[in-house]
């Protein structure tokens, strides 16, 4: 008895450049005839829609997990709210982002005092620092 594993993957409907955000019209599910070639291929369109291309890719290319990233919530030199928490205290300050980052990424922020702190980007674009 021979069992054929059928896999599907997300493919591009059009060529895309680095930095472009993926919409539902940009992707489709296709059969992957050789499962050995399916490594890192996204398997559901929801994994791609709303993501941003890290690299360019031609029409028909399978989308692999390393080709996409979450959109940046914070951009370099943007003013951000920094919320610091520690044992028995919390504080809030403004600072300048020292790089680009998506939700959940670590980023360095320069405070008005000149001190640089590192924290995690939150869903609202603020940066949480834990002491």
The strand pair at 101-102 and 127-130 is best described as unpaired
pLDDT (tens digit per residue) in 19-32? 999 999 999 999 98
pLDDT (tens digit per residue) in 67-84? 999 999 999 999 999 999
pLDDT (tens digit per residue) in 110-126? 999 999 999 999 999 99
Convert the chain into a string of H (helix), E (strand) and C (coil): CCCCCCEEEEEECCCECCCCECCHHHEEEEEECCHHHCCCECCCHHHCCCCEECCCECCCCECEHHHEECCEEECCCCEEEEEEEECCEEEEEEEEECCCEECCCEEEEEECCCCEEEEEECCCCCEEEEC
- Res 5: pLDDT: 64
- List, in order of start, the domains of the chain with CATH numbers: 7-69 (3.90.1210.10), 72-130 (2.30.30.760)
């Amino acid at each position: 008895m021979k069992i054929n594993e059928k896999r599907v993957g997300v493919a591009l409907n059009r060529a895309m450049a680095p930095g472009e955000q993926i919409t539902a019209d940009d992707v489709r599910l296709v059969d992957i005839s050789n499962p050995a070639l399916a490594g890192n291929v996204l398997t559901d369109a929801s994994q791609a829609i709303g993501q941003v291309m890290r690299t360019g890719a031609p029409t028909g290319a399978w989308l692999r997990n390393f080709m996409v990233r979450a959109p940046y919530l914070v951009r370099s030199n943007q003013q951000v709210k920094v919320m610091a928490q520690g044992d028995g205290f919390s504080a809030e300050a403004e600072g300048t982002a020292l790089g680009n980052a998506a939700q959940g990424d670590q980023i360095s922020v320069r405070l008005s005092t000149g001190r640089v702190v590192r924290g995690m980007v939150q869903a609202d674009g603020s940066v949480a620092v834990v002491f």
